[in-house]
């Protein structure tokens, strides 16, 4: 974080300052801000956030041991560290993030890019980070730091020399993206797609669209909205951009896109596509598996162009990426038995894309195996959407479908009803049971997809399989 005095931080957060021995109101703090005491180093600021399982106030001693210079708390603790007591620590770090970004923007060249969408946010963020870090100091979230806590913590990492801040903006209810984007007033806003992810929280896909559109509505006049021309709900957001005098740059497969992809070829070694960038032709050779990642790469490229990066430099950076993120189309195992661990997140769109990728990369003489778990937060469409995935798996002629967890049972029942027989589809209550089965079932030439939402925990099953066949 930029250097601020204790008095300034107290004023920004609206908190009550309690000084420890040796500190004054003019004492300067500039360490990292975090809610995890394990991440606190010398001069750090520890945010004691109450949680559902535990309470951050209990970890103030651990933060002090790590070198914390300040604790932002909701109640004063009997620990020897300066504390700022606020009514709500989550709102306090949001206020602090807003102020810090505004100060850096005033004195420097900082440009802010926000990214949202039902799928692909983290992959697109990582791709854009790899492009921009070649151009200047870049701050981007770790993992999926995209909520009311993670997004401000990322924003607070900017310094006076930061040139690019990438904000991944997630939400499971209306208004959340507006609040997060409102902290930074992004110069560029990227909307990837509108799908059924978190549909239960939004109350339907049209409400999801309005929630994602909040990012476009947060872009100041003269800024740029980067929109998916192939998703009609995203394309409709151009109207909101026009009302705010915001420029629109398109990506997709349609002829009108500023960054257009054609001739996409997916293989076990990566994904190759032909790109037309503002009328100029390029070839993109991604090492990341899956046709759907071409769309993420297009979005990152379009955003990079909006902040002045050349197409050649951006494409070269994209081609250097070997892994989008751990547990996202992560290739494991060996040539004998290849494991594709894609079990960090799952929506109906992402599940379909992963299954189609499995079919595309499995060659003659090789066997497809799909290990599938539940998709989370689908609300009233839960059974219907799981059933559709079972139907697709059978229609793709996947000869071994392994379904794990009771929440995914509708997927298994659908596969059976569609015509999967002779144990082509099997069901297990637990990942351990599935692991034992797979260790006896998998054979040379198998190409195994492990796919589920994070909550289903199959990413760890994918890790175990990857290690067993490495």
How does 199-230 read in b/e, with b if 16+ C-beta sit within 10 Å?
bbbbeeeeebbbbbbbbbbbbeeebbbbbbbb
Judged against a pLDDT cut of 90, whether residue 200 lies above it is answered with no
At 174 the three-state DSSP class reads coil
At 163 the three-state DSSP class reads coil
pLDDT of residue 308: 97
pLDDT of residue 435: 97
Q: Is 123 annotated as a binding residue?
A: yes
Judged against a pLDDT cut of 90, whether residue 110 lies above it is answered with yes
Q: Please name the helix (run of DSSP H) or strand (run of DSSP E) that holds residue 441, with its range, or none.
A: helix 431-441
Using 50, 70 and 90 to split pLDDT, how confident is the model at 385? very high
Using 50, 70 and 90 to split pLDDT, how confident is the model at 225? very high
Please, which residues have CB within 8 angstroms of residue 8's CB and are 6 or more apart in sequence?
none
Give the residue-averaged pLDDT of 86-97.
Answer: 98
Using 50, 70 and 90 to split pLDDT, how confident is the model at 421? low
Q: Is 224 annotated as a binding residue?
A: no
Distance CA 243, CA 228 (A): 18
pLDDT of residue 379: 81
Distance CA 67, CA 226 (A): 42
Q: Is 454 annotated as a binding residue?
A: no
Q: What is the mean pLDDT of the chain?
A: 93
- What are phi and psi for residue 442, nearest 5 degrees? -70, 145
Using 50, 70 and 90 to split pLDDT, how confident is the model at 347? confident
- Contact of 384 with 466, CB cutoff 8 Å: no
pLDDT of residue 198: 55
pLDDT of residue 93: 98
Judged against a pLDDT cut of 60, whether residue 420 lies above it is answered with no
pLDDT of residue 32: 95
Give the residue-averaged pLDDT of 392-405.
Answer: 94
pLDDT of residue 52: 82
Q: What CATH topology corresponds to 92-319?
A: 3.40.1190
Q: Is 138 annotated as a binding residue?
A: no
Tell me the pLDDT tens digit for each residue of 177-189. Answer: 999 999 999 999 9
- Contact of 447 with 340, CB cutoff 8 Å: yes
Tokens 């959407």 locate to 385
pLDDT of residue 144: 72
Judged against a pLDDT cut of 70, whether residue 197 lies above it is answered with no
Give the residue-averaged pLDDT of 315-343.
Answer: 90
- pLDDT > 70: percent of the chain: 97
Tokens 């992809």 locate to 261
Query: Encoding tokens for residue 321?
Result: 């990426």
pLDDT of residue 51: 86
- Contact of 301 with 308, CB cutoff 8 Å: no
Judged against a pLDDT cut of 90, whether residue 146 lies above it is answered with no
Tell me the pLDDT tens digit for each residue of 29-72. Answer: 999 999 999 999 999 999 999 988 899 999 999 999 999 999 99
Domain chopping of the chain, boundaries: 4-87, 92-319, 330-468
Give the residue-averaged pLDDT of 128-137.
Answer: 97
Instruction: Determine which of 110-114, 353-357, 423-427 has the lowest per-residue pLDDT on average.
Output: 423-427
- Contact of 103 with 2, CB cutoff 8 Å: yes
Give the residue-averaged pLDDT of 252-280.
Answer: 93
Question: Against a cut of 0.85, is the pTM above it?
Answer: yes
Judged against a pLDDT cut of 80, whether residue 381 lies above it is answered with yes
Q: Is 122 annotated as a binding residue?
A: yes
Judged against a pLDDT cut of 80, whether residue 423 lies above it is answered with no
Query: Is the CATH number of domain 4-87 3.40.1390.10?
Result: yes
Tell me the pLDDT tens digit for each residue of 156-166. Answer: 999 999 999 99
Q: Where are the beta strands (DSSP E) in 156-214?
A: 164-168, 188-191
Fold match between domain 92-319 and domain 330-468: no
At 392 the three-state DSSP class reads helix
Distance CA 81, CA 18 (A): 9
pLDDT of residue 186: 98
Judged against a pLDDT cut of 80, whether residue 309 lies above it is answered with yes
Using 50, 70 and 90 to split pLDDT, how confident is the model at 199? low
Q: Which CATH architecture has domain 330-468?
A: Alpha-Beta Complex (3.90)
pLDDT of residue 178: 97
């Amino acid at each position: 974080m930029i250097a601020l005095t204790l008095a300034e931080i107290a004023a920004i957060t609206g908190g009550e300052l309690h000084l420890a021995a040796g500190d004054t109101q003019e004492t300067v703090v500039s360490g990292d801000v975090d809610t995890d005491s394990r991440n606190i180093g010398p001069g750090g600021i520890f945010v004691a956030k109450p949680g559902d399982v535990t309470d951050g106030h209990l970890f103030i001693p651990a933060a002090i041991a790590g070198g914390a210079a300040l604790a932002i708390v909701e109640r004063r603790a009997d620990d020897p560290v300066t504390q700022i007591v606020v009514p709500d620590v989550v709102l306090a770090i949001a206020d602090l993030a807003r102020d810090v970004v505004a100060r850096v923007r005033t004195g420097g060249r900082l440009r802010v890019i926000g990214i949202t969408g039902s799928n692909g946010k983290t992959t697109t963020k990582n791709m854009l980070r790899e492009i921009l870090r070649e151009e200047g100091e870049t701050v981007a979230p770790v993992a999926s730091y995209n909520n009311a806590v993670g997004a401000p913590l990322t924003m607070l990492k900017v310094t006076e020399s930061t040139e690019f801040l990438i904000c991944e903006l997630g939400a499971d209810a209306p208004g959340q993206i507006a609040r997060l984007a409102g902290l930074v007033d992004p110069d560029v806003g990227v909307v990837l797609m509108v799908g059924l992810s978190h549909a239960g929280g939004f109350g339907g896909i049209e409400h999801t669209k309005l929630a994602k559109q909040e990012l476009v509505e947060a872009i100041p006049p003269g800024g740029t909205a980067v929109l998916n021309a192939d998703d009609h709900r995203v394309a409709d957001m151009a109207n909101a951009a026009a009302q705010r005098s915001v420029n629109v740059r398109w990506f997709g497969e349609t002829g009108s896109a500023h960054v257009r992809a054609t001739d996409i070829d997916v293989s076990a070694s990566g994904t190759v596509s032909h790109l037309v960038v503002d009328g100029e032709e390029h070839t993109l050779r991604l090492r990341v598996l899956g046709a759907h990642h071409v769309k993420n790469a297009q979005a990152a490229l379009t955003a990079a162009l909006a902040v002045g990066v050349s197409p050649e430099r951006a494409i070269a950076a994209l081609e250097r990426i070997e892994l989008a993120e751990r547990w996202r189309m992560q290739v494991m195992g060996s040539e004998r038995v290849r494991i594709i661990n894609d079990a960090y997140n799952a929506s109906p769109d992402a599940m379909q894309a992963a299954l189609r990728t499995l079919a595309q990369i499995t060659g003659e003489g090789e066997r497809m195996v799909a290990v599938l778990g539940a998709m989370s937060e689908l609300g009233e469409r839960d059974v219907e959407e799981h059933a559709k995935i079972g139907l697709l798996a059978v229609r793709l002629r996947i000869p071994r479908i392994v379904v794990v967890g009771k929440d995914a049972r509708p997927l298994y029942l659908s596969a059976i009803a569609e015509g999967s027989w002779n144990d082509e589809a099997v069901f297990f209550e637990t990942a351990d049971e599935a692991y034992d089965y797979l260790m006896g079932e998998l054979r040379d030439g198998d190409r195994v997809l492990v796919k589920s939402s994070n909550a289903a925990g199959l990413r760890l099953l994918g890790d175990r399989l990857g290690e067993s066949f490495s």
